[in-house]
Structure 1
Amino acid sequence: MTWDDNVYCAVDIETTGIDPSGGDRIIEIAIIPIYKGKIVKEWIYTSLVNPKVSIQTYAQSVHKISTRDIQSAPGLDEVLAVVRKYSRDTILVFHNARFDLTFLDYAAKEVGQLPLDVYYIDTLEISKTLYGRGKKLETLALEMGIQQKVTHRAYDDAMVTASVFIRFFDIFGWERIHEFLRRWMGREY
């Protein structure tokens, strides 16, 4: 399939838990740019994030990121500035976009910024349409023969999301994939 001229950015975050309204926060982020069906390695951004909260034992066991690991990492305001830069004139790609975007909105609110206003595509939504139900990222990767593993670390999981998205794009083409294009302008709390 022919690729369009858009830059797509696969994004993944890791968090201290699953409830941003309960105080869980972002502790790692990765952004993997894709242009013309290829991952652009020199444009990749990945960083630990210091949300100024402790990482609970359970989250440490899942992500292998400790409170000590994030002490000197950039804060939420710095990381959000990077996300905004990457989202300008690009289309973000997530697996379970609502989860990641909600956390990013809470982060913006916490540092006194407006929520994100971005265009995105969700590979989970594509899998729901294709298979009648949403499939986990690792299931899609396995079924598509993608060698990269989901590790619950932002870089690895964003790479898997990028690879899944590239396969979906190659299967469906620009017109069909763009039926999944959505706009996020913050969520209601």
Structure 2
Amino acid sequence: MILNESLFCAMDTETTGIDPMNGDRIVEVAIVPVYKGRILYRSIYHTLVNPKIRIPATIEKIHRITNEDIENAPTIEQVFGQMRSFMRRSIMIFHRAEFDLTFIDISAKEIGIFPPSIDYIDTREISEIIFGEKKALSWLAERFGFEKPNHRALTDAITTAKLFLKMTRKLAGSQIEELVHTWRGQEW
């Protein structure tokens, strides 16, 4: 069964805005490994990222990451290798996958490498199967009694990992396998 055989990694990013095509970039990355039904807290990867652009004040208020916080952070070019290492050897878990995957895709192209091919599951899609409609991360966290996500990559990735573990218990193994998609980058 896929749940007992595969390494999964919940991933979340925080960004300078919601539109990577108009210059918004990643400012924080968190990756939370999940293996055999357990979160591997000791193997979590988390870093701020210097996007080489300013974070607008309206966005700072949302995730509380300031321009001063990222001033000495590594660039996406410096952290992409670590991100790719997780993406290469696991099935990634996202909530609203296309959002994060688009930012990853553009980041790869911007630093001059091919976008990674990523196998992934979207917890938002799982919520549609269980609840009949796609639910927000905060709604799901409240429903399952988890800490409310706070628009920080680490907290949101841990919440996504916990939701994945809870929700996949409600699905058959074949349903889970059908939810695994492959991202091969977007054509622009």
Q: TM-score when scaled to structure 2?
A: 0.96
Q: Deviations over 1:44-101 (max 9, x none)?
A: 0000001100000011000111111101111111221111101122100000000000
| Identity across matched positions, percent | 44
Mapping 1:36-185, distance limit 5 Å: 36-146=36-146, 148-185=147-184
The offset of 1:155, in angstroms, is: 0.2
Distance 1:171 1:125 in 2: 13
5+ unaligned residues in a row in structure 2: which ranges? none
Using the alignment, how far apart are the partners of 2:17 and 2:144 within structure 1?
29
Deviation by residue 1:123-171 (Cα, 9 ceiling, x = unmatched): 011112332321000101111122x220000000001000000011222
Give the whole-Å Cα distance in 1 for the aligned partners of 2:124 and 2:3: 21
Question: Aligned to 2:68, what secondary structure does the other structure show?
Answer: helix
- For these two proteins, the number of residue pairs brought into alignment is 188
Structure 1: segments with no counterpart, 5+ residues = none
Q: Secondary structure at the match of 2:93?
A: strand
For the Cα contact (< 8 Å) 1:6–1:91, is it kept in 2? yes
Distance in 2, matches of 1:2 and 1:138, equals: 27
Please give the residue correspondences for 1:3-22 in structure 2 after superposition, counting only pairs within 5 Å. 3-22=3-22
Match of 1:30 in 2: 30
Does the CA-based 8 Å contact 2:95-2:160 persist in structure 1? Answer: yes
Residue 2 (structure 1) shift: 9.1
CA RMSD in angstroms, aligned pairs only:
1.4
Distance 1:119 1:2 in 2: 13
Residue 114 of structure 1 aligns with an amino acid whose one-letter code is: F
Following TM superposition, by how much is the alpha carbon of 1:173 offset from its aligned partner in structure 2, in angstroms?
A: 4.0
Q: Which amino acid is the alignment partner of residue 151 of structure 2?
A: H
- Take 1:116 and 1:132, find their aligned partners in 2: how far apart are those partners? 31
Contact kept in structure 1, 2:4 and 2:37, CA below 8 Å: no
